[in-house]
Structure 1
Amino acid sequence: MEEEVSGAAGPEADLAAGAYAVSAEFYDVLHGAEYRRHALALSGPAAAARVGIVELGAGTGLVTGILLGASSVPVDVVEPAAAMRTVLLSRLSAAGPDALGRVTVHPCRAQQLALPARADLAVCFRVVACLPPVERHAVWHSLAGWLLPDGLLLMDRPPAALPAGPKRHRVGEARVGADTYSAWLTERPEHDRIRLDYLYLVHRRSREIRRAEETFHQWPLTDEELDDELTEAGFRREDECAPDVLRLRRLGRRR
Protein backbone atom coordinates (compact mmCIF):
# COMPACT_ATOMS: atom_id res chain seq x y z
CA MET A 1 0.00 0.00 0.00
CA GLU A 2 1.43 3.36 -1.02
CA GLU A 3 1.14 6.49 1.08
CA GLU A 4 -1.33 9.24 0.22
CA VAL A 5 -0.59 12.95 0.47
CA SER A 6 -3.55 15.26 0.75
CA GLY A 7 -3.86 18.39 -1.35
CA ALA A 8 -3.09 21.95 -0.32
CA ALA A 9 -3.89 22.61 3.33
CA GLY A 10 -4.26 26.40 3.17
CA PRO A 11 -2.12 29.21 4.63
CA GLU A 12 -0.62 27.05 7.42
CA ALA A 13 0.82 24.63 4.87
CA ASP A 14 2.26 27.53 2.89
CA LEU A 15 3.82 28.91 6.07
CA ALA A 16 5.41 25.55 6.89
CA ALA A 17 6.82 25.24 3.38
CA GLY A 18 8.43 28.70 3.65
CA ALA A 19 9.82 28.28 7.17
CA TYR A 20 13.59 28.31 7.76
CA ALA A 21 14.18 30.35 4.60
CA VAL A 22 16.74 32.36 6.59
CA SER A 23 17.89 29.81 9.16
CA ALA A 24 18.67 26.94 6.76
CA GLU A 25 21.91 28.62 5.67
CA PHE A 26 23.20 28.77 9.25
CA TYR A 27 21.66 25.60 10.64
CA ASP A 28 24.36 22.98 10.27
CA VAL A 29 27.32 25.23 11.01
CA LEU A 30 25.79 26.52 14.27
CA HIS A 31 23.59 23.63 15.48
CA GLY A 32 25.38 20.58 14.12
CA ALA A 33 27.32 19.72 17.27
CA GLU A 34 24.21 19.77 19.47
CA TYR A 35 22.25 17.64 17.02
CA ARG A 36 25.02 15.05 16.84
CA ARG A 37 25.11 14.88 20.64
CA HIS A 38 21.38 14.11 20.70
CA ALA A 39 21.74 11.69 17.82
CA LEU A 40 24.12 9.47 19.80
CA ALA A 41 21.09 8.26 21.77
CA LEU A 42 19.42 7.15 18.54
CA SER A 43 22.09 4.82 17.16
CA GLY A 44 21.13 1.85 19.34
CA PRO A 45 17.37 1.98 18.66
CA ALA A 46 18.04 2.56 14.94
CA ALA A 47 20.28 -0.50 14.80
CA ALA A 48 17.55 -2.54 16.54
CA ALA A 49 14.85 -1.54 14.01
CA ARG A 50 13.74 -4.55 11.98
CA VAL A 51 10.90 -3.14 9.86
CA GLY A 52 11.34 0.57 9.19
CA ILE A 53 12.04 4.02 10.63
CA VAL A 54 10.07 7.24 10.32
CA GLU A 55 11.64 10.63 11.11
CA LEU A 56 9.31 13.58 11.54
CA GLY A 57 10.92 16.97 10.95
CA ALA A 58 14.12 15.78 9.29
CA GLY A 59 15.42 19.32 8.80
CA THR A 60 18.81 19.36 7.10
CA GLY A 61 19.34 15.64 7.71
CA LEU A 62 21.75 15.77 10.66
CA VAL A 63 19.76 13.06 12.46
CA THR A 64 18.76 11.30 9.23
CA GLY A 65 22.39 10.46 8.53
CA ILE A 66 22.74 8.81 11.94
CA LEU A 67 19.56 6.77 11.42
CA LEU A 68 20.67 5.57 7.98
CA GLY A 69 24.18 4.77 9.13
CA ALA A 70 23.05 2.72 12.12
CA SER A 71 20.21 0.81 10.44
CA SER A 72 19.56 -1.47 7.49
CA VAL A 73 15.82 -0.84 7.07
CA PRO A 74 13.80 1.63 4.94
CA VAL A 75 13.69 5.15 6.36
CA ASP A 76 10.82 7.58 5.66
CA VAL A 77 11.56 11.23 6.47
CA VAL A 78 9.02 14.05 6.61
CA GLU A 79 10.14 17.65 6.03
CA PRO A 80 7.70 20.35 4.85
CA ALA A 81 10.16 23.28 4.74
CA ALA A 82 11.62 23.68 1.26
CA ALA A 83 14.78 25.43 2.50
CA MET A 84 15.61 22.60 4.90
CA ARG A 85 14.72 19.95 2.35
CA THR A 86 17.21 21.44 -0.10
CA VAL A 87 20.05 20.83 2.35
CA LEU A 88 18.62 17.43 3.32
CA LEU A 89 18.59 16.15 -0.25
CA SER A 90 22.08 17.50 -0.89
CA ARG A 91 23.32 15.58 2.14
CA LEU A 92 21.52 12.41 1.08
CA SER A 93 22.96 12.61 -2.42
CA ALA A 94 26.43 12.20 -0.92
CA ALA A 95 25.43 9.34 1.39
CA GLY A 96 26.00 6.54 -1.11
CA PRO A 97 23.74 4.18 -3.06
CA ASP A 98 22.69 2.06 -0.06
CA ALA A 99 21.35 5.05 1.85
CA LEU A 100 19.72 6.55 -1.23
CA GLY A 101 18.02 3.25 -1.93
CA ARG A 102 16.50 3.09 1.56
CA VAL A 103 15.36 6.67 2.26
CA THR A 104 12.17 8.34 1.04
CA VAL A 105 11.60 12.08 1.56
CA HIS A 106 8.02 13.29 2.04
CA PRO A 107 7.67 17.06 1.36
CA CYS A 108 4.59 17.67 3.52
CA ARG A 109 3.32 18.08 7.04
CA ALA A 110 2.72 14.99 9.18
CA GLN A 111 -1.07 15.24 9.14
CA GLN A 112 -1.04 15.42 5.32
CA LEU A 113 0.71 12.06 5.01
CA ALA A 114 -1.38 8.88 5.13
CA LEU A 115 1.50 6.47 5.57
CA PRO A 116 0.58 2.86 6.39
CA ALA A 117 1.96 1.37 9.58
CA ARG A 118 5.38 0.16 8.46
CA ALA A 119 7.84 1.33 11.13
CA ASP A 120 8.99 -0.01 14.46
CA LEU A 121 10.87 3.23 15.28
CA ALA A 122 9.78 6.85 14.95
CA VAL A 123 12.01 9.84 15.72
CA CYS A 124 10.75 13.37 16.32
CA PHE A 125 13.25 16.07 17.34
CA ARG A 126 12.66 19.82 17.59
CA VAL A 127 9.15 19.48 16.24
CA VAL A 128 6.53 18.96 18.95
CA ALA A 129 7.12 22.26 20.76
CA CYS A 130 6.75 24.15 17.46
CA LEU A 131 3.20 22.88 16.85
CA PRO A 132 0.02 24.70 17.93
CA PRO A 133 -2.05 22.45 20.23
CA VAL A 134 -4.64 21.42 17.61
CA GLU A 135 -1.93 20.44 15.15
CA ARG A 136 0.08 18.70 17.87
CA HIS A 137 -2.87 16.42 18.68
CA ALA A 138 -3.14 15.48 15.01
CA VAL A 139 0.58 14.72 14.85
CA TRP A 140 0.39 12.30 17.80
CA HIS A 141 -2.19 10.30 15.87
CA SER A 142 -0.14 10.45 12.68
CA LEU A 143 2.85 9.03 14.53
CA ALA A 144 0.68 6.33 16.12
CA GLY A 145 -0.68 5.40 12.70
CA TRP A 146 2.81 5.04 11.19
CA LEU A 147 4.09 2.79 13.99
CA LEU A 148 3.42 -0.90 14.37
CA PRO A 149 2.14 -2.13 17.76
CA ASP A 150 4.95 -2.01 20.35
CA GLY A 151 6.87 0.41 18.12
CA LEU A 152 9.11 2.97 19.77
CA LEU A 153 8.87 6.77 19.51
CA LEU A 154 11.89 8.87 20.54
CA MET A 155 11.46 12.63 20.99
CA ASP A 156 12.99 15.57 22.81
CA ARG A 157 11.22 17.07 25.80
CA PRO A 158 9.24 20.25 25.01
CA PRO A 159 9.50 23.29 27.33
CA ALA A 160 7.13 23.00 30.28
CA ALA A 161 6.34 26.68 30.86
CA LEU A 162 6.57 30.19 29.44
CA PRO A 163 9.72 32.14 30.33
CA ALA A 164 9.24 34.74 33.06
CA GLY A 165 10.56 37.47 30.76
CA PRO A 166 12.88 38.07 27.82
CA LYS A 167 16.10 36.01 27.86
CA ARG A 168 18.93 36.49 25.38
CA HIS A 169 21.83 34.09 24.91
CA ARG A 170 24.32 32.96 22.28
CA VAL A 171 23.42 29.69 20.59
CA GLY A 172 26.47 28.98 18.48
CA GLU A 173 29.70 30.19 16.93
CA ALA A 174 31.85 28.72 14.18
CA ARG A 175 34.81 29.73 12.03
CA VAL A 176 34.50 29.32 8.27
CA GLY A 177 37.70 30.49 6.65
CA ALA A 178 38.15 34.18 7.42
CA ASP A 179 34.58 34.50 8.71
CA THR A 180 33.01 33.90 12.11
CA TYR A 181 29.38 32.81 12.12
CA SER A 182 27.36 33.28 15.30
CA ALA A 183 23.78 33.50 16.48
CA TRP A 184 21.85 35.04 19.35
CA LEU A 185 18.47 33.82 20.54
CA THR A 186 15.97 35.98 22.42
CA GLU A 187 13.14 34.06 24.10
CA ARG A 188 10.09 35.89 25.43
CA PRO A 189 6.50 35.05 26.41
CA GLU A 190 3.88 35.99 23.83
CA HIS A 191 0.34 35.19 25.00
CA ASP A 192 0.19 31.38 25.35
CA ARG A 193 3.38 30.70 23.42
CA ILE A 194 7.12 31.35 23.44
CA ARG A 195 8.51 33.71 20.81
CA LEU A 196 12.00 32.82 19.57
CA ASP A 197 13.88 35.58 17.75
CA TYR A 198 17.11 34.41 16.09
CA LEU A 199 19.75 36.92 15.03
CA TYR A 200 22.48 35.51 12.76
CA LEU A 201 25.75 37.42 12.38
CA VAL A 202 28.76 37.01 10.12
CA HIS A 203 32.00 38.81 11.03
CA ARG A 204 35.18 39.04 9.00
CA ARG A 205 38.24 40.13 11.01
CA SER A 206 35.95 41.57 13.72
CA ARG A 207 33.87 43.59 11.24
CA GLU A 208 30.22 42.68 10.80
CA ILE A 209 29.57 41.97 7.13
CA ARG A 210 26.10 40.44 7.32
CA ARG A 211 23.15 39.87 9.61
CA ALA A 212 19.84 38.04 9.21
CA GLU A 213 16.85 37.35 11.44
CA GLU A 214 14.05 34.81 11.70
CA THR A 215 11.29 34.27 14.26
CA PHE A 216 9.71 31.01 15.43
CA HIS A 217 7.18 30.10 18.11
CA GLN A 218 6.88 27.27 20.63
CA TRP A 219 3.96 26.11 22.75
CA PRO A 220 4.87 24.92 26.28
CA LEU A 221 3.58 21.57 27.48
CA THR A 222 3.71 20.29 31.06
CA ASP A 223 4.63 16.67 31.76
CA GLU A 224 1.05 15.98 32.87
CA GLU A 225 -0.40 17.45 29.67
CA LEU A 226 2.12 15.54 27.60
CA ASP A 227 1.25 12.22 29.27
CA ASP A 228 -2.50 12.85 28.83
CA GLU A 229 -2.12 13.59 25.12
CA LEU A 230 0.17 10.62 24.52
CA THR A 231 -2.12 8.23 26.39
CA GLU A 232 -5.10 9.40 24.34
CA ALA A 233 -3.13 8.73 21.14
CA GLY A 234 -2.09 5.25 22.26
CA PHE A 235 1.42 5.75 23.70
CA ARG A 236 3.00 4.87 27.03
CA ARG A 237 6.04 6.69 28.35
CA GLU A 238 9.09 4.62 29.30
CA ASP A 239 12.37 5.63 30.93
CA GLU A 240 14.42 8.34 29.25
CA CYS A 241 17.15 6.90 27.02
CA ALA A 242 19.26 10.06 27.45
CA PRO A 243 18.81 13.41 29.22
CA ASP A 244 15.72 15.10 27.73
CA VAL A 245 15.16 12.29 25.21
CA LEU A 246 11.84 10.54 25.89
CA ARG A 247 11.01 6.91 25.02
CA LEU A 248 7.36 6.24 24.18
CA ARG A 249 5.87 2.86 23.37
CA ARG A 250 3.03 2.40 20.86
CA LEU A 251 0.28 0.31 22.47
CA GLY A 252 -1.82 -1.80 20.12
CA ARG A 253 -3.89 -0.31 17.36
CA ARG A 254 -5.32 3.19 17.36
CA ARG A 255 -8.98 3.28 18.31
Structure 2
Amino acid sequence: MTEYHDPYQRSGRYLDIMIAGWWEHHGATVAEALRELPAGPVVDAGAGGGHGTRLIARTLPDTPILAVEPSPVLSAVLLSRVADDPDLRPRVTVHGDDLLAARLPERIGGMIMSNLIGHFSPHERDRLWEDLAPRLAPGAFVLVNLPPPTEPAHVERAAMSEIHVGDRTYLGWAAAEPAGDERLSWHMTYETREGDRVVSTDDVHYDWWTVSEDSLRAETAPHRLTVVPHGPAEAGLYKILRES
Protein backbone atom coordinates (compact mmCIF):
# COMPACT_ATOMS: atom_id res chain seq x y z
CA MET A 1 0.00 0.00 0.00
CA THR A 2 1.25 3.49 -0.86
CA GLU A 3 2.15 5.49 2.22
CA TYR A 4 -0.39 8.22 2.91
CA HIS A 5 0.99 11.73 2.54
CA ASP A 6 -0.92 14.05 4.86
CA PRO A 7 -1.44 17.46 3.20
CA TYR A 8 -2.64 18.78 6.57
CA GLN A 9 0.36 17.70 8.63
CA ARG A 10 1.24 21.35 9.31
CA SER A 11 -2.04 23.15 8.63
CA GLY A 12 -4.32 20.72 10.46
CA ARG A 13 -4.11 22.67 13.72
CA TYR A 14 -5.66 25.66 11.95
CA LEU A 15 -8.04 23.93 9.58
CA ASP A 16 -10.77 22.88 11.98
CA ILE A 17 -11.39 26.38 13.34
CA MET A 18 -11.09 27.99 9.89
CA ILE A 19 -13.44 25.59 8.08
CA ALA A 20 -16.19 26.31 10.61
CA GLY A 21 -17.34 29.32 8.58
CA TRP A 22 -18.13 27.11 5.57
CA TRP A 23 -20.39 24.93 7.71
CA GLU A 24 -22.08 27.94 9.31
CA HIS A 25 -22.83 29.31 5.83
CA HIS A 26 -23.86 26.09 4.08
CA GLY A 27 -24.90 23.80 6.94
CA ALA A 28 -28.65 24.39 6.47
CA THR A 29 -28.39 23.49 2.78
CA VAL A 30 -26.48 20.30 3.59
CA ALA A 31 -29.01 19.39 6.29
CA GLU A 32 -31.85 19.85 3.79
CA ALA A 33 -30.24 17.21 1.58
CA LEU A 34 -29.56 14.88 4.52
CA ARG A 35 -33.25 14.80 5.40
CA GLU A 36 -33.95 13.24 1.99
CA LEU A 37 -31.71 10.21 2.60
CA PRO A 38 -33.17 6.74 3.15
CA ALA A 39 -32.45 4.72 6.28
CA GLY A 40 -28.96 3.30 6.57
CA PRO A 41 -25.48 4.31 7.68
CA VAL A 42 -24.22 7.66 6.39
CA VAL A 43 -20.54 8.15 5.56
CA ASP A 44 -18.83 11.46 6.30
CA ALA A 45 -15.88 11.25 3.90
CA GLY A 46 -12.98 13.54 4.72
CA ALA A 47 -14.67 14.29 8.03
CA GLY A 48 -11.89 16.57 9.30
CA GLY A 49 -12.53 17.55 12.90
CA GLY A 50 -16.19 16.57 12.69
CA HIS A 51 -18.26 19.61 11.67
CA GLY A 52 -20.15 17.50 9.12
CA THR A 53 -20.31 14.50 11.44
CA ARG A 54 -22.07 16.55 14.09
CA LEU A 55 -24.45 18.01 11.49
CA ILE A 56 -25.39 14.50 10.30
CA ALA A 57 -25.95 13.44 13.90
CA ARG A 58 -28.21 16.42 14.66
CA THR A 59 -30.18 16.05 11.44
CA LEU A 60 -30.54 12.25 11.51
CA PRO A 61 -30.64 11.41 15.24
CA ASP A 62 -31.11 7.66 14.79
CA THR A 63 -28.58 7.11 12.00
CA PRO A 64 -25.22 5.34 12.46
CA ILE A 65 -22.34 7.33 11.01
CA LEU A 66 -18.98 6.28 9.60
CA ALA A 67 -16.54 9.21 9.74
CA VAL A 68 -13.51 8.71 7.48
CA GLU A 69 -10.50 10.99 8.01
CA PRO A 70 -6.94 9.90 7.13
CA SER A 71 -5.10 12.96 8.46
CA PRO A 72 -3.72 11.96 11.89
CA VAL A 73 -3.97 15.56 13.10
CA LEU A 74 -7.61 16.00 12.10
CA SER A 75 -8.57 12.44 13.01
CA ALA A 76 -7.35 13.07 16.57
CA VAL A 77 -9.65 16.09 16.85
CA LEU A 78 -12.53 14.07 15.37
CA LEU A 79 -12.07 11.08 17.67
CA SER A 80 -11.80 13.30 20.75
CA ARG A 81 -15.03 15.09 19.86
CA VAL A 82 -16.88 11.84 19.24
CA ALA A 83 -15.61 10.22 22.43
CA ASP A 84 -16.51 13.29 24.48
CA ASP A 85 -20.13 13.42 23.26
CA PRO A 86 -22.54 10.88 24.81
CA ASP A 87 -24.80 11.09 21.75
CA LEU A 88 -22.03 10.55 19.19
CA ARG A 89 -19.99 7.94 21.05
CA PRO A 90 -22.33 4.95 20.51
CA ARG A 91 -23.13 5.61 16.83
CA VAL A 92 -20.12 7.26 15.18
CA THR A 93 -17.26 5.04 14.03
CA VAL A 94 -14.03 6.85 13.14
CA HIS A 95 -11.86 5.38 10.37
CA GLY A 96 -8.36 6.77 9.98
CA ASP A 97 -8.09 5.49 6.40
CA ASP A 98 -8.05 7.17 3.03
CA LEU A 99 -11.53 6.88 1.47
CA LEU A 100 -10.21 4.62 -1.29
CA ALA A 101 -8.80 2.22 1.32
CA ALA A 102 -11.58 2.42 3.93
CA ARG A 103 -13.80 -0.64 4.43
CA LEU A 104 -17.26 0.75 3.76
CA PRO A 105 -20.56 -1.03 4.45
CA GLU A 106 -22.00 -3.00 1.52
CA ARG A 107 -25.04 -0.72 1.63
CA ILE A 108 -24.97 2.95 2.66
CA GLY A 109 -27.80 5.40 3.08
CA GLY A 110 -25.67 8.25 1.77
CA MET A 111 -22.32 10.03 1.86
CA ILE A 112 -21.09 13.58 2.37
CA MET A 113 -17.87 14.62 0.61
CA SER A 114 -17.27 18.23 1.64
CA ASN A 115 -14.18 20.06 0.38
CA LEU A 116 -12.60 16.71 -0.48
CA ILE A 117 -12.96 15.81 -4.14
CA GLY A 118 -9.90 17.74 -5.32
CA HIS A 119 -7.60 15.41 -3.39
CA PHE A 120 -8.42 12.62 -5.87
CA SER A 121 -6.99 12.39 -9.37
CA PRO A 122 -9.32 11.56 -12.30
CA HIS A 123 -8.17 7.92 -12.13
CA GLU A 124 -8.81 7.77 -8.37
CA ARG A 125 -12.25 9.34 -8.80
CA ASP A 126 -13.12 6.72 -11.41
CA ARG A 127 -12.22 4.02 -8.86
CA LEU A 128 -14.28 5.84 -6.27
CA TRP A 129 -17.47 6.04 -8.40
CA GLU A 130 -17.04 2.39 -9.39
CA ASP A 131 -16.87 1.41 -5.72
CA LEU A 132 -19.68 3.65 -4.48
CA ALA A 133 -22.31 3.06 -7.17
CA PRO A 134 -23.33 -0.46 -6.04
CA ARG A 135 -23.24 0.52 -2.36
CA LEU A 136 -25.87 3.25 -2.63
CA ALA A 137 -29.24 2.13 -1.29
CA PRO A 138 -32.33 3.08 -3.32
CA GLY A 139 -32.79 6.83 -2.95
CA ALA A 140 -29.30 7.31 -1.49
CA PHE A 141 -26.77 9.74 -2.93
CA VAL A 142 -23.31 11.20 -2.49
CA LEU A 143 -23.43 14.93 -1.67
CA VAL A 144 -20.32 16.60 -3.02
CA ASN A 145 -19.25 20.23 -3.35
CA LEU A 146 -17.08 21.62 -6.13
CA PRO A 147 -15.05 24.48 -4.64
CA PRO A 148 -14.03 27.27 -7.02
CA PRO A 149 -12.16 27.57 -9.21
CA THR A 150 -13.47 24.51 -11.05
CA GLU A 151 -10.82 24.92 -13.77
CA PRO A 152 -7.13 25.83 -13.38
CA ALA A 153 -6.83 29.60 -12.90
CA HIS A 154 -4.78 32.19 -11.09
CA VAL A 155 -6.23 32.98 -7.66
CA GLU A 156 -4.99 36.24 -6.17
CA ARG A 157 -3.77 36.02 -2.57
CA ALA A 158 -6.62 36.87 -0.23
CA ALA A 159 -7.48 36.61 3.45
CA MET A 160 -9.68 33.58 4.13
CA SER A 161 -10.14 33.60 7.89
CA GLU A 162 -9.50 35.50 11.12
CA ILE A 163 -10.33 33.72 14.38
CA HIS A 164 -9.90 35.12 17.91
CA VAL A 165 -9.30 32.64 20.72
CA GLY A 166 -8.27 34.05 24.08
CA ASP A 167 -5.41 36.50 23.65
CA ARG A 168 -4.43 35.11 20.26
CA THR A 169 -5.61 35.66 16.71
CA TYR A 170 -5.33 33.02 13.97
CA LEU A 171 -5.23 34.27 10.40
CA GLY A 172 -5.17 32.50 7.05
CA TRP A 173 -4.45 33.56 3.47
CA ALA A 174 -4.80 31.57 0.25
CA ALA A 175 -3.54 31.90 -3.31
CA ALA A 176 -3.28 29.47 -6.23
CA GLU A 177 -1.66 28.99 -9.61
CA PRO A 178 -2.44 26.53 -12.42
CA ALA A 179 -0.27 23.41 -12.21
CA GLY A 180 -1.19 21.73 -15.50
CA ASP A 181 -4.43 20.43 -16.96
CA GLU A 182 -7.08 20.08 -14.24
CA ARG A 183 -4.66 20.95 -11.41
CA LEU A 184 -4.04 23.86 -9.08
CA SER A 185 -1.18 24.51 -6.71
CA TRP A 186 -2.52 26.16 -3.57
CA HIS A 187 -0.28 28.33 -1.39
CA MET A 188 -1.63 28.82 2.13
CA THR A 189 -0.19 31.00 4.88
CA TYR A 190 -1.28 30.61 8.50
CA GLU A 191 -0.25 33.08 11.16
CA THR A 192 -0.72 33.22 14.93
CA ARG A 193 -0.57 36.63 16.57
CA GLU A 194 -0.74 37.86 20.14
CA GLY A 195 -1.38 41.58 20.02
CA ASP A 196 1.17 43.03 17.60
CA ARG A 197 3.55 40.09 18.04
CA VAL A 198 3.69 37.33 15.42
CA VAL A 199 3.94 34.09 17.40
CA SER A 200 4.28 31.71 14.44
CA THR A 201 3.87 31.48 10.67
CA ASP A 202 3.29 28.36 8.58
CA ASP A 203 3.44 28.28 4.78
CA VAL A 204 1.82 25.26 3.17
CA HIS A 205 1.66 24.17 -0.48
CA TYR A 206 -0.53 21.40 -1.87
CA ASP A 207 -1.95 20.30 -5.22
CA TRP A 208 -5.68 20.18 -5.94
CA TRP A 209 -7.48 18.54 -8.85
CA THR A 210 -10.14 20.86 -10.25
CA VAL A 211 -13.55 19.37 -11.08
CA SER A 212 -16.28 21.18 -13.01
CA GLU A 213 -19.96 20.24 -13.19
CA ASP A 214 -19.49 19.04 -16.77
CA SER A 215 -16.50 16.86 -15.90
CA LEU A 216 -18.34 15.44 -12.86
CA ARG A 217 -21.25 14.45 -15.10
CA ALA A 218 -18.93 12.92 -17.68
CA GLU A 219 -16.93 10.82 -15.22
CA THR A 220 -19.92 9.51 -13.23
CA ALA A 221 -22.13 8.63 -16.22
CA PRO A 222 -20.22 5.41 -17.14
CA HIS A 223 -21.04 4.14 -13.63
CA ARG A 224 -24.77 4.76 -14.18
CA LEU A 225 -24.72 7.71 -11.83
CA THR A 226 -26.47 11.00 -12.43
CA VAL A 227 -25.60 14.48 -11.09
CA VAL A 228 -28.25 16.85 -9.71
CA PRO A 229 -27.48 20.35 -8.36
CA HIS A 230 -28.60 21.02 -4.80
CA GLY A 231 -29.22 24.37 -3.16
CA PRO A 232 -27.99 27.79 -4.29
CA ALA A 233 -25.36 27.85 -7.04
CA GLU A 234 -22.82 29.58 -4.79
CA ALA A 235 -22.77 26.51 -2.51
CA GLY A 236 -21.49 24.35 -5.39
CA LEU A 237 -23.33 21.30 -4.02
CA TYR A 238 -24.38 18.30 -6.12
CA LYS A 239 -26.14 15.02 -5.45
CA ILE A 240 -24.71 11.98 -7.21
CA LEU A 241 -27.43 9.32 -7.49
CA ARG A 242 -27.83 5.94 -9.11
CA GLU A 243 -29.85 6.04 -12.30
CA SER A 244 -33.36 4.69 -11.76
Q: Same fold (TM over 0.5)?
A: yes
Tell me the SS of whatever aligns to 1:217: strand
Deviation at 1:63, TM superposition (A): 0.8
Q: How does 1:58-97 map to 2 (within 5 A)?
A: 58-71=47-60, 72-96=62-86
Q: How does 1:150-161 map to 2 (within 5 A)?
A: 150-158=139-147, 159-161=149-151
Q: How does 1:131-150 map to 2 (within 5 A)?
A: 131-150=120-139
Equivalent in the alignment of 1:188? 177
1:32 aligns with one of 20, 40, 65 = 20
Tell me the SS of whatever aligns to 2:70: coil
Equivalent in the alignment of 1:4? none
Deviation at 1:109, TM superposition (A): 1.5
CA change 1:251–1:104 in 2 (3 A) is: farther
CA root-mean-square deviation: 1.8
CA change 1:63–1:36 in 2 (3 A) is: farther
Q: Structure 1, unaligned stretches of length 5 or more? A: 1-8
> 2:55 is aligned with what amino acid?
I
Deviation at 1:39, TM superposition (A): 2.2
TM-score (norm 1): 0.86
Return the alpha-carbon distance in structure 2 between the equivalents of residues 171 and 39 of structure 1.
Answer: 18
Return the alpha-carbon distance in structure 2 between the equivalents of residues 175 and 111 of structure 1.
Answer: 36
Return the alpha-carbon distance in structure 2 between the equivalents of residues 109 and 141 of structure 1.
Answer: 16
TM-score (norm 2): 0.90
> 1:19 is aligned with what amino acid?
P
Report if the CA contact (8 A) 2:44-2:68 is conserved: yes
Q: How does 1:1-255 map to 2 (within 5 A)?
A: 9-11=1-3, 14-15=4-5, 18-49=6-37, 50-71=39-60, 72-96=62-86, 98-158=87-147, 159-163=149-153, 165=154, 167-192=156-181, 193-242=183-232, 243-251=235-243
> 1:210 is aligned with what amino acid?
S
Deviation at 1:48, TM superposition (A): 4.3
> 1:45 is aligned with what amino acid?
A
Deviation at 1:33, TM superposition (A): 1.6
Deviation at 1:55, TM superposition (A): 1.4
Report if the CA contact (8 A) 1:110-1:142 is conserved: no
Select between 215-224 and 173-182 the one with higher mean Cα deviation.
215-224
Q: Percent identity?
A: 23
Select between 115-124 and 169-178 the one with higher mean Cα deviation.
115-124
Q: How many residues are matched?
A: 238
> 1:112 is aligned with what amino acid?
A
